[in-house]
Amino acid sequence: MLPLLLLACMGPSDTTIIRDVQIVHVGASPAELQPGESSTLTVTVADPSGQGVEILAWPCTDLGEGCAEDLGQPVSEWVSLLSPVDEDATWTVTASPLWAKLLSADTGSAYFEPYAGAWFLACRPGQCAPIELARSAPAAGSDDDVALRTFLNDPTTGMADLPLDGAALAQRRVPVSDRGEDERNQNPELRLEDERELSLAVGGEQELLFGLIDETPDALQLDGYTSIGTLGPARTDFYSPTFTWYAGEAAGEGRIYVVVRDGEGGSALWRQDAVVE
């Protein structure tokens, strides 16, 4: 029975298929901060239908009571509306200077792991109420203002009220420490070993072998996604950095994505156009 199970695991995985709006990756550069420093976040949103996407972004350091950044200021001073270009939009998050006091205390970060955090809500235009509310800049204390702040402070719960299709949510936390620049965690490097055009005939398959560079390779985890055909397996590691692309039975064009994470806040994205003829 074991050989059959192994064969099943090695085949195409439906979980790799991007069927609708999906936030594939949120990269951070740098991948680790000191208090008061900033990181550029790049959010990559796949939109296989080509209907367009808009993104609501907001900083959120939640230590159990909602976003510390919600100080009662106008919501327009807290959130940002982004328009991705070729799937990408960039935004900046800053580590609170207040983390310095915690990091210098005798207890260190025993109770909290310091981070600079952000949420991203990606939706088709006109489809998600929080984005429309943010665009309208509701008056402080109004029903719309309260509804929007409720969502921003607990977006995972708020997603239950949004459409199942055409909406995606992602959180990014950038670790904060007192380590020097040379000691901090760096993003891994990811590349396709055999760089070439990705093109298959209907029903075909192709192996994709990746090269990785990282200071802690044992912890690396790779996830694959595609908007054309399927991939297998859905997840692998440093010791088996290989996916198989299965063309499926329908011709078309799409993209293949592979995301690598190191478990310490570092990550990298590879993507490439693919064609099935």
**What is the per-residue pLDDT for 195?**
87
For the chain, residues with pLDDT lower than 70 are 1-10, 106-111
**What is the per-residue pLDDT for 63?**
87
Radius of gyration of the CA atoms of the chain, in A: 21
Pairing type for strands 267-276 and 198-200 reads parallel
Within this chain, domains 17-175 and 185-276 share the same CATH topology: yes
Residue 54 to residue 145: CA distance in whole angstroms? 20
Residue 226 to residue 70: CA distance in whole angstroms? 37
The pTM (predicted TM-score) of the whole model is 0.93
Residue 262: closest CA among 195, 189, 208, 203: 189
**What is the per-residue pLDDT for 105?**
72
Q: What 3-state class would DSSP assign to 206?
A: strand
Residue 208: closest CA among 253, 268, 263, 255: 255
Q: Could you count the other beta carbons within 10 Å of the beta carbon of residue 208?
A: 20
Six-digit token string for 121: 């809500």
pLDDT tens-digit series, residues 170-227: 999 999 999 999 999 999 999 999 988 999 999 999 999 999 999 889 999 999 999 9
**What is the per-residue pLDDT for 2?**
35
Task: Supply the DSSP symbol for 75.
Answer: G
CATH of domain 185-276: 2.60.40.1080
Six-digit token string for 71: 């100080």
Write out the H or E segment, with its range, that includes residue 4.
helix 2-10
CATH of domain 17-175: 2.60.40.1930
pLDDT tens-digit series, residues 82-104: 999 999 999 999 999 989 988 88
> What are the structural domain ranges in the chain?
17-175, 185-276
Write out the H or E segment, with its range, that includes residue 190.
strand 189-192
Residue 116 to residue 114: CA distance in whole angstroms? 7
**What is the per-residue pLDDT for 106?**
59
Residue 23 to residue 46: CA distance in whole angstroms? 6
Residue 244 to residue 12: CA distance in whole angstroms? 8
